[in-house]
Amino acid sequence: MPELSIAEALREALREELHRDPRVFLLGEDIGVPGGFGGAFTVTLGLAEEFGRDRVRDTPISEAGIAGVAIGAAICGMRPVADVQYSDFLFNMMDQLVNQAAKLRYMSGGTLTVPMVMRAPVGATARGAQHAQSPEAFFTHVPGLKVVAPATAYDAKGLLKAAIRDDNPVLVFEHKLLYGSKGARSEKGAVSPRGEVPADDYIVPIGQGIVRRPGTDVTIVASLLMLYRALQAAEELAADGIDVEVIDPRTLVPLDTALILRSVQKTGRLVIVEEDNLTNGWGAEVAALMADDAFVWLDAPIKRVAAPDTPPPFAPILEQAYVPSVTRIVDTVRSIL
């Protein structure tokens, strides 16, 4: 079985779906420009040449336009996959996404569906406050949107394919330090996990989390880059005999509450790690759900590890202090033992 980076796995998912379903097409800024990188992070590299510029369409720098085209195409029966370049730019599309994409199916009594995908890179990578946010939580608040966040190559391919086949608008958040982009687009400090990805057609169902590391003492829920920091923290804590269970939710909406509940019933302790700033993040929702469903199972206060309530700083040293570190996760776990 071939080992792929996340960027390669996403590319394979797009290629397979473009082959499988003629309604699928890609759109975005610089995703197929001749001599380009294949989007900002090489995901669409070579697809324009392979499928033609009708199905891999470069757009002007107008995020509202991208969203409007995608929504219009989707309600007319196409299955657009939009590349948002930086998830920060989703805010340019807010009216289109929140007032149109998320609501049309409800408002039409189910007559319309909006089967579209927005692929949006997140994470602080020394690019400054407007290219560094992790805005997943905004979209978890909007009924009608699904939100996924794959952290491995296997899940990247499987979840993207599931998103393309879903009849609802799905936001796929990808992390810049996990892509494994190469050459001029390689990232400093990248984790770039590679993993075995089956060449055949499979999906990872939306709404299913996964236990990445079984443990008995504390549950950590973390997605994307924070998943890897949590796993590293778990290793450090294991050296002291503290057995941490790490859960990757993979999907934030709908959330696999049952999986988290089972884990908390076992461990009695919960730490949620998110790269976004603390207040009203998706971690707050997980904490509230568990305070409700798992109350009698809790043996310690629920803790969140998140960024401070400021924009991501540009200075690399400040950015390092801003994004939750392995040390912060370890210290937080120790504080509730």
Partner 1 sequence: MPFEVLMPPLSQTLDTLVLVEWLKRTGDEIRKGEPLFLVESDKATLEVESPATGTLQAILAEPGSEVRVKTPIAHIIELGESLPAASPLRIPVATPPVTGASSDAGLDWLPPARAQRIKASPRARARAQAAGVGLAAVPASGPQGMIVERDVTAYLATLPTPPRVSPVARRMATAEGIDVAAIAQAKPGRRIQRADIVDAVAGAQKPAPAEAQFGNADAVGGGALRAALDPTRRVIAARLQASHQASVPVTLMREVDATALVELRTTILADLGDQAPRPSYTDLFALIVARCLLQHPTMNGTFDGEMLMIPEHVQLALAVDTPRGLVAPVIPGADQCSLLTLANKRVELTAAALASQLTPAQLGGGTFTLTNLGALGVDAFTPVINPPQIAILGTGRIRPAPAVFGGQLAIRQMMMLSLTFDHRVVDGAPAARFLGAVAEFVEKPFRVWY
The residue (of 172 and 290) whose beta carbon lies closer to partner 1 is 290
Piece of 68-76, 187-195, 246-254, 293-301 that binds partner 1 (CB under 8 A) = 293-301
Rounded to a whole number of angstroms, the minimum distance from the CB of residue 267 to partner 1 is 10
Q: Does 314 bind partner 1 (CB under 8 A)?
A: no
**Which one among 298, 325, 326, 328 touches partner 1, defined by CB under 8 A?**
298
Among 2, 46, 301, 316, binds partner 1 (CB under 8 A): 301
Q: Is 131 a catalytic residue?
A: yes
From CA 127, how far away is CA 109, in angstroms rounded? 43
**Cβ-based nearer residue to partner 1, 110 or 295:** 295
Side-chain half-sphere CA neighbours of 221 within 13 A: 31
Tell me if 337 contacts partner 1 by CB under 8 A.
yes
What minimum distance in Å lies between the beta carbon of 268 and partner 1? 5
Range in contact with partner 1 (rule: CB under 8 A) among 40-48, 112-120, 125-133, 289-297: 289-297
Q: Is 300 in the site for partner 1 (CB under 8 A)?
A: yes
Residues 92-121 that bind partner 1 (CB under 8 A): none
* Positive/negative CA dihedral, 91, 92, 97, 100: positive
Residue 23 or 266: which CB sits closer to partner 1? Answer: 266
Q: Minimum distance between the CB of residue 337 and partner 1, rounded to whole angstroms? A: 7
Nearer to partner 1, 129 or 336 (CB): 336
Q: 297, 314, 325, 328: which one contacts partner 1 (CB under 8 A)?
A: 297
Q: Using CA of residue 173, residue 43, residue 151, residue 329, what is the dihedral sign?
A: negative
Q: Provide, rounded to whole angstroms, the least separation between the CB of residue 266 and partner 1.
A: 11
DSSP-derived secondary structure for 48-84 = HHHH-TTTEEE--S-HHHHHHHHHHHHHTT-EEEEE-
**Considering only residues 213-232, where is the footprint of partner 1 by CB under 8 A?**
none
Sign of the alpha-carbon dihedral angle for 244, 245, 248, 254: negative
Q: Is 304 left (phi over 0), alpha (psi -120 to 50) or beta?
A: beta
Residues between 152 and 211 that touch partner 1 (CB under 8 A): none
Q: Which residue from 88, 89, 90, 28 is spatially nearest to 57, judged by alpha carbons? A: 28
**Cα–chain-centroid distance for residue 76?**
27
- Structure tokens given for 229: 């920091």
| Per-residue contact string for residues 232-271; x = within reach of partner 1 by CB under 8 A | ------------------------------------x---
- Report if residue 299 touches partner 1, rule: CB under 8 A: yes
Q: Where are the beta strands (DSSP E) in 101-186?
A: 117-122, 146-148, 170-175
Phi, psi of 130 (to 5 degrees): -95, 0
Residue 74: alpha-carbon gap to chain centroid? 22
Which residues are paired to 304 by β-bridges? 272
Instruction: Candidates 54, 76, 295, 309: give the one binding partner 1 (CB under 8 A).
Output: 295
- Tell me whether residue 254 or residue 301 sits nearer to partner 1 (CB atom): 301
Q: How many residues bind partner 1 (CB under 8 A)?
A: 11
Q: Which of 76, 239, 296, 317 binds partner 1 (CB under 8 A)?
A: 296
Residue 32, token pair as written in the block: 């197929």
What's the helix, strand, coil split of the chain in %, to 5? 40, 20, 40
Instruction: Enter the DSSP assignment of 296.
Output: G
Does the protein bind partner 1 through residue 335 (CB under 8 A)?
yes
The residues annotated as belonging to the active site are: 131
Interface ranges with partner 1 (CB under 8 A): 268, 295-301, 335-337
